[in-house]
Amino acid sequence: MNTPVIEVSNVRKEYKGFTAVDGINFTVYSGDVFGFLGPNGAGKSTTIRMLTSLIHPTSGSIKLFGKDLSTHREEILANVGAIVERPDMYLYLNAINNLELVARMYGANSSKKHLMSILEMVGLAQRAESKVKTFSHGMKQRLGIACTLVHNPQLIILDEPTTGLDPQGMKDIRDIILHLSKDRGKTIFLSSHILPEIELTANRMVIINRGKIVVEGEVKKLLNDDTVKLMVHCSPIETATTIIAESNWNSFFVDVEDGALRFDIPTVNVAGLNQYLVEHGIEVHSLVPTRSLEDYFLKCIEQAEVTNMK
């Protein structure tokens, strides 16, 4: 049975006249890649700062590894590696010196061999002696992840690690996260405002909006139940529109947009729609599902409001 690694209970953080986090609850279990999703300003960073004791909750309790963070701070942080906000380093030092400094702060193994093996893992071994000020953002992210690993922690907290990266950089970081989870058994707490990123890496997630948890559950289950915006590029489009209008699929049809049929349709029904169009002589060129975090949020919030009204 999985043991809880992070237990957040009724945590609230207030600044002068502003509630950044409003009584949130969630649990992260050992081995999870836990997605912490929300738009900018939702309370993600505030929550991560509370998890790493950079800021103190106004009320509520945070337990890591079953121990209260407010009373066992040093003991807990010895087993946590974190990047909060950005992977900031000492720019005037080179990569291996930065790692060595962090290792010494943890009282961990700071031998060159050990540090090089970590740099190897994040793909920076060739740049070990380069000053960090010469690094690209992607390289800094990878070095930041390396810094979280020097003391072999059980829990790794990453705050928007793919922000500002190009597609290749995003993939590199994703691969590292999956490697840490699957091959090294780390528990990973991953914050992001990009839904596909969470979809590709996390097994469980919560969505936070305006300081409140809107959704919590298993990623696959939550997203498969969801309705996607589907753009169907097909020809002839006029015939397709008529066929759809005369069928049960019409309830999912929205409009013709940019030369394609737009549907708001549950993901489980996409294959059926495709089959129906093909069987009626329509040539389907592509079906492009798009699911923006914004749309998903709106749906979650609407559902939450309906539940509250009932």
Partner 1 sequence: MLSMILIELEKIFRKWRTYIGLAAIIVLVALIQTVMFIQGDQYGNMMLQSLRQTFSIDAKLINGYLLAFLVKGLTYVHIPFLVTLVSGDILAGEATGGTIRVLLTKPLTRSKILLAKYITTEIYTLLVVATLALMSYAVSVWLFGPGQLVVINSDGVVVLAKNDVAWRFIYSYLYIFLGLSTVSTLAFFFSSLVENALGPIISTMAVIIVFTALSFLDVSSIRTLKQFFFTTHIAGWRLFFDDPIQWDSIYKSGSILLGHCIGLFGITWFMFTRKDVTT
Q: Which residues contact partner 1 (rule: CB under 8 A)?
A: 49, 52-56, 73-78, 80, 82, 84-86, 88-93, 101-102, 104-107, 147
What's the min distance (Å) between Cβ of 3 and partner 1?
Answer: 21
Contact (CB, 8 A) for 238 and 281: no
What's the min distance (Å) between Cβ of 104 and partner 1?
Answer: 6
Judged by CB, which is closer to partner 1: 102, or 202? 102
What's the min distance (Å) between Cβ of 99 and partner 1?
Answer: 12
Judged by CB, which is closer to partner 1: 90, or 120? 90
User: How many of the other CB atoms lie within 10 Å of CB of 245?
Assistant: 10
Judged by CB, which is closer to partner 1: 105, or 298? 105
**CA–CA distance, 309 with 214 (Å, rounded to integer):** 15
What's the min distance (Å) between Cβ of 24 and partner 1?
Answer: 17
What's the min distance (Å) between Cβ of 111 and partner 1?
Answer: 16
What's the min distance (Å) between Cβ of 80 and partner 1?
Answer: 7
**CA–CA distance, 200 with 289 (Å, rounded to integer):** 15
Q: Which two tokens stand for residue 42?
A: 């939702």
Judged by CB, which is closer to partner 1: 63, or 204? 63
**CA–CA distance, 262 with 273 (Å, rounded to integer):** 12
Q: Which two tokens stand for residue 172?
A: 């590199």
What's the min distance (Å) between Cβ of 303 and partner 1?
Answer: 32
**Of the candidates 148, 166, 144, the residue with the CA atom closest to the CA atom of residue 95:** 144
Judged by CB, which is closer to partner 1: 45, or 227? 45
Judged by CB, which is closer to partner 1: 128, or 243? 128
**CA–CA distance, 232 with 230 (Å, rounded to integer):** 6
Contact (CB, 8 A) for 44 and 194: no
* CB < 8 Å & 24+ apart, contacts of 163-170: 163/192, 163/193, 164/137, 165/137, 165/138, 165/141, 166/138, 169/137, 169/138, 169/141, 170/197
DSSP state of 267: G
Judged by CB, which is closer to partner 1: 133, or 171? 133
Q: How far is CA 119 from CA 98, 126, 143, in A?
A: 11, 8, 7
What's the min distance (Å) between Cβ of 55 and partner 1?
Answer: 4
Three-state DSSP string of 146-210: HHHHCCCCCEEEEECCCCCCCHHHHHHHHHHHHHHHHCCCCEEEEEECCHHHHHHHCCEEEEEEC
Contact (CB, 8 A) for 211 and 205: no
Judged by CB, which is closer to partner 1: 27, or 53? 53
